Amino acid sequence: MTTGTGDKAWMPCDIAAGLPLRDVSRLHPVDAVAANPKGVVLGGGPVGVYRTTDGGRTYVARSGVEHLDRVTIPDNWLFCSGDHALTVVAEDEAAAP
């Protein structure tokens, strides 16, 4: 969208701009858009998130599709849903009846 003019309108991008194609002449739908004042625009759809920094002339894939079945955290982190109490037991104590 051009913001410097009085008439605001979306401008279509070139079919070869780097966005994934649904079929020979149609792009996949865009479900979400985010932008910042520096001209970075992200568009998300069913096949991932794409980024443009040149006003929509070219796009680069930034991620794959959304994964709803897993969350990753660094190796030395723990998931913490609230207050937890830990009991530390030595290896030989755990085997005692």
- Note the pTM of the prediction, 2 decimals: 0.55
What tokens were used for 83? Answer: 């207050």
Give Cα separations from 82 to 23, 63, 78, 79 (angstroms): 47, 30, 11, 9
Label the pairing between strands 32-35 and 26-27.
Answer: unpaired
> What's the pLDDT at 65?
60
The HSE-up count of residue 79 (CA atoms within 13 Å, CB side) is: 4
Q: What is the mean pLDDT of residues 73-94?
A: 80
* Spatial distance between the Cα atoms of 33 and 19, rounded to a whole number of angstroms: 14
Confidence of residue 58 (pLDDT cuts 50, 70, 90): very high
Q: What is the mean pLDDT of residues 88-92?
A: 82
> What's the pLDDT at 52?
92
- The amino acid sitting at 55 is G
- The mean pLDDT of the chain is 80
Q: What is the mean pLDDT of residues 37-52?
A: 89
